[in-house]
Every structure is written in C-alpha cells, then in structure tokens.
Amino acid sequence: MTSREALAAYEMIQLQERLDLLRREHLGALRALERIRLERGELRQVNMATMNILEDLEEEKRRSLDAQSALLNMLEDIEEERREGERTKAVLEAVNRELEAFSYTVSHDLRAPLRAISGFSRAIAEDCADSLNDEGKRYLELIQENVNRMGALIDGLLAFSRLGRQRMNTSDVDMGAMFDEVFQEIMAQEPERDVKLIRNPMPLLNGDAVMLRQVAVNLLSNAVKFTRGRERAVIEVGYAADVEGGAYYVRDNGAGFDMKYADKLFGVFERLHPSEDYEGSGVGLALVERIVVRHGGRVWATSVPGEGSTFFFTALGGRST
C-alpha cells in the first residue's frame, strides 16, 4: 500500500469513527446541522435578526414574522441537509466496507509472495551455505528480517480493519489486574530485562475487556521497548483523577520523543523512531486510539526526549469504583 493510499484509508476510517460518534450522541446530529447553518451564513442572519428584535420591541412584531418565514425556509434547508447527510453516510459506509475488503484481500494476497521470499531465502541459506560469504549471509538475514517486518505490518493492517467490525461486549473491567497480568506476560518474553512496574490504584472501567486488553498490551509493550536503553527501567501505571475528569496513564523513563511530532503519533504506520533502533509495525498506537475512541474517550501523550513518555487515555463508557 502506498503512503497516499494509507493516508486515504486513514482519512476514511477517521470519517467513519466520527460518524459512529455522531450516532451514539443524540445531540450530535443537531450540532452538525447547526454547523452547516453557520457555514451557510443563515445562523448569522437569524442572530442579527434576534438582536434587532431585542433592541426594539415595536420592530419585534414585524421582524418576528420575517424570522418565522426565515425559520421555515431554514427548516426546509435543514431537512434537505439531513437527507444529504444520510446519503453521505451511506456512501461513506459503503466506501469503508470496500476499503476493509480491499485491505483484507491485499493483505492475504501479499502473504503468498512473502512466504515464497522467506522460503527461497531459507533454502539458499541452507543449500548454498558453503558458497556464501559473510556478506551474502548477512543479505539473507536482512531479507528474513524484512519479510518478518512485512508480515507484522500485514497483521497490523488486518487487526486495524477488523476492529471497525468487531462487536463490543461491555462489562466492568479491573484495569489494575489487567495491567499486572499483561506486564507479567510481556516480561516473561524478556527475562533478562530489569524493569520495575509501579502500579497505582485505579478504578474499574466499563468497556470491552478484549479491546481494553489490547490497549494495555500495546501501551505496556511500547513502554518496555523504549526503556530498553535504561539500566534501570521504570514503568508506572495508574489513574489521574484530576486530568480531564479522570484518565488512565502509562508512564516510562525511556527514550521519549519530540512533542512537535505528537500529531503523527497515532497515525497508521507512523513511526517516530528508526525501525533499526526499535522494532514494531507502526500500527499499535493507531489501534489504541481507535479502541479508545470506540469507548467514547481520547488518547494523547506527553514526552521529553531522553526522559520518557506518558500516555493518557479516557473512556466515556463509565468508571466504576
């Protein structure tokens, strides 16, 4: 997939998520229609008329009739805009389904040549080992590394496309226990690492346990990965009640990043560090954002290069004590 196609897919997904939010909020449609009226300049005309009505009671009687006529016309325009919005929504849903089907098909079609590349490179390494010099062996290793990386990118793309179709099953989730469990699983794969986890108290979160676990896995995996250069890595998880009405957070003392690139952090296949330094597909944080948005919240990060990062996320699904 080219960067232009990836960008187009990302933009369409963002539009879909926005429509999903509008469907969940009863007032969203009214606000959207009000923004349309503002864009067309009709609301400004009504406001000006209202101000004139308040300034002169005598004029109010005459102007009220004009306002009623204008409102009737506006209601007709709003109804037309609503119908246009429904048509646009249907088109976007169809396009999104096509994009998901395209991503799924392309991802599966890409696996066959990847398997061939991997198989032939392994065969060369095994059958022609005596004929290869060190440089040739290194090239074969690079081929395998890039095949594995491409496989991870495909897996990430499939996971991202499936998330939009995945049904949410909500319950009260013990986020503290989930972070503990996920951290133990991650560290079991890196027994040589010395990483300290500070787990502060946090409330239950009403949401989809499978999706929220993916959030915990991706955020903790990133924290473990980017503290790899620390002799004593420290990761802290908890809940900040004073941040935007309450936000869960994952903090580390790792590599950090420059905040001027923060707007790229949650883009699909966006990376702020070279792949040679830190492995990854560039999809993990995009998945985190999409899951959090589906829970009615938002995710963001603060960081200082060389000092670490803190990732926050909220969820309007509800918090239970």
pLDDT in tens, 147-191: 776 666 666 666 666 666 667 788 999 999 999 999 999 898 888
pLDDT, residue 54, reads 59
Tell me the pLDDT band of 106, cut-offs 50, 70 and 90: low
Distance of CA 301 to the CA centre of its chain: 12
Mean pLDDT of 70-88: 81
pLDDT, residue 276, reads 46
Q: Higher-confidence residue: 284 or 320?
A: 284
Confidence check: pLDDT of 233 > 50:
yes
Residue 27 corresponds to which amino acid? L
Joined together, the tokens standing for residue 294 give 């589906």
Q: Of 259, 197, 251, 198, which is closest to residue 226 (Cα–Cα)?
A: 251
pLDDT, residue 320, reads 41
Domains contained in the chain, CATH given = 1-165 (no CATH), 171-320 (3.30.565.10)
Confidence check: pLDDT of 137 > 60:
yes
Q: Higher-confidence residue: 277 or 155?
A: 155
